[in-house]
Structure 1
């Protein structure tokens, strides 16, 4: 019997990398440990008798830096995780057993891009701007895209272009564009599997407000069991007007962790 997926791959596919390159000093939320990479052994430090040499690396990192996914264990509300799980009791031996990142199954799913700046005729949204339900609906209509249950929905604000600028990407004084509680509620009602955005904390950050108020995290992670992916690079998808694709995403299988760095891929026919 022919394998239709293998046939499609053999026929040719294009892969668009949606992940950020991990670098020391890259912008990240102040709430998480930074990424650090060093080489304890470089070529020439130790030489074999035959002239060969090997280099090796060591990294330390928070699990919520760079492009990463939030597990359901990441956020609690009134002491409860998704499904009413007791947040304190769920942490056994310093590991979140029930909703840790190890419980996220590898994703090969229909992904869609929602691109409000393109619909609005601007290159990117200004800091602190709310992406409203109307923006989402109008963008989908203009793209000819329909959300289906089980989809991975990625929202572009254009703010991702600031990633290389460092502090500007965090939007401390300017705020960061994104959906609010209303937008999160509407998206969750569509029965989606995962959401993502090109910003540091997925949802709207008010100017000067920092990460003090994150209602979309509560709605997705605690109330609906929907994963969140942050700090995506969505510029190529937007430039090429690719609004529907196969999304491949696999978190690191870290037992009991609240999140994981990821390198999501959008795959389309060549």
Structure 2
């Protein structure tokens, strides 16, 4: 069995936009030894000689959408098809461990939409089939971008392509770029040019009509075959949250 990590490392990155920056504090062994002694009111002589203290760490700042994560239906809106939208802690775990299919659209130019035809053409090319319950991974190769380019460049799922996947029985899908839709700054510029308020978040807003979840900021999809593997997406169980960081992996059997 081979396990391929599809997740970003949770770390501070100065080149990230301010709203994405993660702050971690790493506490060395000696600092915790002092705190333990203080808490227990014990002299150092009463601790084992080899004991140097416990390493400890603290997440000081990290939004649930800041790194590799999965969005719950609650992120898109409070109601889906007339029913209360699920928060991340309400998602059935069965949805999050399933056969995976990779759709390669890395050839598309920045700011182009991913269409139903793009998906069908790639399925025909690879011989893959999408079955109900599969987890579909959209490969753009934009995980290689850094800094402002990571946020401001990329492609995006169209409304029609998102609906098509859901209609095939797909509950979970994901992409290896900053967002699931076209880049926000690009959409803002186009909205001003066209005075069209309907350009924004076409894929996200499908979630108001049809229940589904999507992952953002995946990585390393180019290491995967088109099919024949399983995907595990287990997010932190955050009460009432709209999303959660997740360690996403692909599992390939020998």
TM superposition score category, shorter chain reference: 0.7 to 0.9
8 Å CA contact 1:145, 1:244 repeated in 2: no
Structure 1 distance, partners of 2:243, 2:131, is 25
8 Å CA contact 2:70, 2:246 repeated in 1: yes
8 Å CA contact 1:27, 1:170 repeated in 2: no
Provide closer, same or farther for how the CA distance between residues 151 and 235 of structure 1 changes in structure 2, counting only shifts above 3 A.
closer
Structure 1 distance, partners of 2:125, 2:182, is 23
- Counterpart pick for 2:24 among 11, 20, 37: 37
Structure 1 distance, partners of 2:75, 2:175, is 17
- Counterpart pick for 1:139 among 106, 122, 135: 122
The corresponding residue for 2:64 is 63
Tell me the TM-score normalised to structure 1 length: 0.76
- Structure 1 runs not aligned, ≥5 long: 1-12, 87-97
- Counterpart pick for 1:111 among 73, 88, 100: 100
1:209 and 2:192 are equivalent in the alignment: no
Hey, which of these two has a bigger chunk of helix by percent?
Answer: 2
C-alpha deviations, 1:102-150, integer Å up to 9, x for none? Answer: 0112222111111123xxxx4xx33212222211110111011011111
- Structure 2 runs not aligned, ≥5 long: 35-43, 190-198
Report the aligned-residue RMSD.
2.4
- Once the two structures are superposed, the pairs formed by residues 166-181 of structure 1 within 5 Å of their partners are 166-171=147-152, 175-181=153-159
Tell me the TM-score normalised to structure 2 length: 0.81
The corresponding residue for 1:237 is 223
1:19 and 2:7 are equivalent in the alignment: yes
8 Å CA contact 2:111, 2:186 repeated in 1: no
The corresponding residue for 1:100 is 87
Structure 2 distance, partners of 1:101, 1:268, is 26
Provide closer, same or farther for how the CA distance between residues 192 and 132 of structure 1 changes in structure 2, counting only shifts above 3 A.
same
